[in-house]
């Protein structure tokens, strides 16, 4: 089993839960897919793209449950990142973890496996 993670504002997750799907953040919509990270990639993603942003959550999903719409593509330094070409069914989210800011303003991601 491979777990993947999506960092997003708590309000966006609440909206997705209310309607049953997450269609993507502005950067996801611009790129044409929903960005995810593995546990090993998530902290660097938080540092690069979410520094200074409070009230975030980290969604945890099982990659295999996303089917063929999930594509692993090279990105930062040649690492393969999971990209979802389609909407995310909110029911597939296994957990939503807190991501409090550390003293440097970087979201702290703990307990990701």
Is 113's pLDDT higher than 80?
no
SS3 annotation, 33-76: CEECEEHHHHHHHHHHHCCCCCCEEEEEEEHHHHHHHEEEEECH
What is the span of the domain harbouring residue 86? Answer: 3-98
The verdict on residue 111 lying in a domain is no
Domain count, the chain: 1
Residue 107 lies in a domain: no
Sign (positive or negative) of CA dihedral 41, 56, 93, 49:
negative
Which positions ≥6 away from 18 have C-beta within 8 Å?
A: none
pLDDT band at 3 (very low <50, low <70, confident <90, very high): very high
Predicted local distance difference test score (pLDDT) of residue 96? 95
pTM of the model: 0.94
Q: Domain holding 87: CATH number?
A: 3.20.170.20
Asked if residue 10 belongs to a domain, the reply is yes
60-77 tens-digit pLDDT = 999 999 999 999 999 878
Assigned domain for 69 exists: yes
Does residue 105 form part of some domain? no
Average the pLDDT over 90-109 and give the result: 95
Distance CA 46, CA 107 (A): 6
Residue 112 counted as domain residue: no
């Amino acid at each position: 089993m491979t777990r993947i993670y999506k960092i997003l504002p708590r309000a966006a997750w609440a909206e997705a839960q209310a309607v049953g799907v997450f269609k993507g953040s502005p950067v996801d919509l611009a790129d044409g897919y929903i960005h995810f990270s593995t546990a090993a990639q998530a902290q660097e993603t938080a540092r690069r793209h979410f520094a200074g942003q409070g009230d975030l959550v980290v969604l945890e999903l099982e990659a295999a449950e996303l089917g063929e719409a999930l594509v692993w593509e090279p990105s930062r330094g040649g690492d393969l990142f999971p990209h979802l070409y389609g909407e995310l069914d909110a029911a597939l989210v296994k957990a939503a973890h807190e991501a409090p800011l550390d003293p440097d303003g970087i979201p702290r991601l703990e307990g990701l496996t």
